[in-house]
Amino acid sequence: MKCWKKNLKPSRGFKTVEEFEKKTKGIDELLIDGFENRIERKKNYDAQKADYSGKKHSHTDISLCISDKDTFIYYISKLYPGSNVDYAILKQEFPPEQPWFGTKTIKVDLGFIGIKKNYNAEKIIIGHKKPRASKNNPNPELTKEQKEWNKQVAKERIYVEHAIGGMKHFRILRNECRLKNINLKNKIVGLAAGLWNFRVRFRQQNDL
Judge if pTM exceeds 0.85.
Answer: yes
Q: How confident is the model at residue 59, as a pLDDT?
A: 92
Instruction: Give the range of the structural domain holding residue 153, as residue numbers without chain letter.
Output: 3-126+142-199
Q: How far is CA 10 from CA 47, 103, 135, in A?
A: 29, 20, 48
- Domain assignment of residue 206, yes or no: no
Q: For the chain, give the percent of residues with pLDDT over 90.
A: 72
Q: How confident is the model at residue 1, as a pLDDT?
A: 45
- Domain assignment of residue 13, yes or no: yes
- Domain assignment of residue 136, yes or no: no
- Domain assignment of residue 131, yes or no: no
- Domain assignment of residue 119, yes or no: yes
Q: Can you tell me the distance from the alpha carbon of 169 to that of 184, in angstroms, rounded to the nearest whole number? A: 18
- Domain assignment of residue 28, yes or no: yes
Residue 105: phi and psi, rounded to 5, are: -95, 125
Q: How confident is the model at residue 43, as a pLDDT?
A: 85
What DSSP letter does each residue of the chain carry, written as one string?
--GGGTT-SPBS--SSHHHHHHHTTT--EEEEEEEEEEBPPPSSHHHHHHHEETTTTEEEEEEEEEE-TT--EEEEPPPEETTS-HHHHHHHHS-TTS-TEEEEEEE--GGGTTHHHH--EEEEE--PPPPPP-SS-SS----HHHHHHHHHHHHHHHHHHHHHHHHTTSHHHHSPB----HHHHHHHHHHHHHHHHHHHHHHHHHH-
- Domain assignment of residue 57, yes or no: yes
Kindly report the CATH number assigned to the domain that includes residue 42. Answer: 3.30.420
Residue 54: CA atoms inside 13 Å, Cβ hemisphere, count? 5
Query: Where does the pLDDT of residue 42 fall: very low under 50, low under 70, confident under 90, or very high at 90 and above?
Result: confident
Domain tally for the chain?
1
Cα-Cα-Cα-Cα torsion 88, 197, 55, 155, nearest 10 degrees, comes to 100
Query: Where does the pLDDT of residue 5 fall: very low under 50, low under 70, confident under 90, or very high at 90 and above?
Result: low
Greater confidence, 169 or 2?
A: 169
- Domain assignment of residue 132, yes or no: no
